[in-house]
Amino acid sequence: MATEYNTMEMMICVASRYLEDGKTVAVGTGAPCAAAMLAQKLHSPNLIILFEAGGVAPLLPQMPISVGDSRTFYKAVMAAGMSEMMTTCARGQVDYAFLGGAQIDKYGNINSTLIGDYYTPKVRFPGSGGANDFASFCWRTMIMTVHSKARFVEKCDFITSPGFLTGGNAREEAGLPEGGPYKIITDLAVMGFHPETKEMMVESLNPGVELAQVKENTGFELLIADDIGRTEPPTEEELRLLREEVDPLRLVIGRA
């Protein structure tokens, strides 16, 4: 009988598989941190984890509750701060970063600032923090999010974190380095981006999900990969490590 798992566990396990050994990844607390910890424990022992306001390359004993938690410094090579982290990104020394937001469009631009008009918004969010720097300078950005039309929109009300802007070569023409959005991991599918148009493209469907369901929950037309596949579900070993060593208190993954 297959091991049961919830959607958060699914997304964390899938995200962890993209973090290769020896790479650097900037994470926040929560699901991105869990994905990095899982990768480090399972297949990427030399993964270098960096925190926006914490340690560099710690060997995390357990899930921190914030990016400045003392656990982010555990056996780290350096106690860093915002200025060190952002200059490291600007030097091109960070391979991966995880971002989130209220809205994302088909070119991977992210809005975490407001909903509605800028001067008279319906909702105002905390804003960028370090997200603009991460999206601008890290080589690859990944997003884990629930898949809904409210999040996947035709046009962001405000671009907090740049993706591929208007597509094609717009990112480079704006003076940003190559790279940008890499994988969008949701509770329904995994998406990448077309190499030329830079439009969002469905690459694999999660177990039990059909393409029509993904389209119904997206506010723009998605490209479909020629060889669209099925996302591999979490393995027993991934779930064991995630539940017993990464997040035994179920702070992020909740109850399966």
CB burial string 184-215: b at 16+ within 10 A, e below: bbbbbbbbbbeeeebbbbbbbbbeebeeeebe
- Which two three-digit tokens encode residue 3? 């091991």
If you count them, how many residues does the chain have?
256
Q: Which residues pair with 205 in a beta bridge?
A: 189, 230
Q: Which residues of 154-180 are buried (b: 16+ CB within 10 A; e: fewer)?
A: eebbbbbbbbbbebeeebeeeebeebb
Q: Which is it for strands 140-145 and 121-124: parallel, antiparallel or unpaired?
A: unpaired
Out of 4, 20, 52, 232, the active site residue is: 52
52 is an active site residue:
yes
Residues involved in catalysis: 52
